[in-house]
Amino acid sequence: LVLAAKTYAALRDMNEIKLIACDLDGTLLLHGAQACTRKALELIGELCDRGIYFVPASGRQYPNLRRLFAPVADRLIYLCENGAVVIKDDRAVIKREFPWELAMEASHAVLEREDCEVLISGERTSYIIPKKDSYRRLLVETVKNDVVVVKEPEEIPEPIVKVSFYTDPKDRDIAGKALGGQFAGRLSQVVSGLEWIDFTLPGSGKGSALAELGKKLGILPGQMAAFGDNENDRTMLEYVGHPYLMRECNPSMENLKYAARCATVEEELENLLKKCNGNKKVG
């Protein structure tokens, strides 16, 4: 009955979508791209003109996301760090902090593994203790995060919202299993990319952050759409009334029910704009 009610609500609200959440890597940014297409930015601008919220929903940090969406940056809501931080009008409206001791324990557990690099996230800053300079260059020059290098996790001067580890894709699942067992019942893990796994607080993630944001904005699940491709998108896609799963997704996501499949986000945004023709332009 709950599922039937949700499906009915989704169909009923098809022309009244008020919020679109979109993963970045492997979804809006395909094949390793590190910049949005001009077409995507134009479509996002049109969504904003129609009063539809566009929410980048990523494991990335806030400054990184703002740079990616520079032409429309002030018009968006940002679901950052896999839902640990949500920022609207340059202010954190949702922020989920790790208990300090648990954050330190997880950070040191990653540092002790020779096959892993650690990334410790504050609200707007990535803190690293790089074992190889190539890792620092990846985050600064390719990913373009705001990065601070520290000698020890204890030097970090702000609350921690996420702890992640980076490793060779062939070692990712082995490292994830070992570290996951170490923190079973205290921290959850989500795959965030070929080389990345994030520790999250139990019950947190993109889905719960989107649910909390929806309550703040007065937007129902049936009035939301979302795009994703990986396990860190699962709870978000399961929550919204209009989920879209990328055709080139993580194979583990193939069992996601009721999600439409799409090749590119841009194509579906064009279709959604046509379906949302009842939303008049703002201004």
Burial class (CB in 10 A: 0-12, 13-18, 19+), 283: exposed
- DSSP-derived secondary structure for 101-147: HHHHHHHHHHHT-TT-EEEEE-SS-EEE--SSHHHHHIIIIIS---E
How many CA atoms, within 13 angstroms, populate the side-chain half-sphere of residue 260?
17
Q: CB atoms < 10 A from the CB of 81, how many? A: 28
Q: What is the pLDDT of residue 274?
A: 84
Rounded to two decimals, the pTM is 0.89
Instruction: Tell me: pLDDT of 280 over 50.
Output: yes
pLDDT (tens digit per residue) in 67-101: 999 999 999 999 999 999 999 999 999 999 999 99
Per-residue pLDDT tens over the stretch 24-58? 999 999 988 889 999 999 999 999 999 999 999 99
Give me the sheet containing 196-200, strands edge to edge. 147-149, 126-128, 117-121, 162-166, 196-200, 188-191
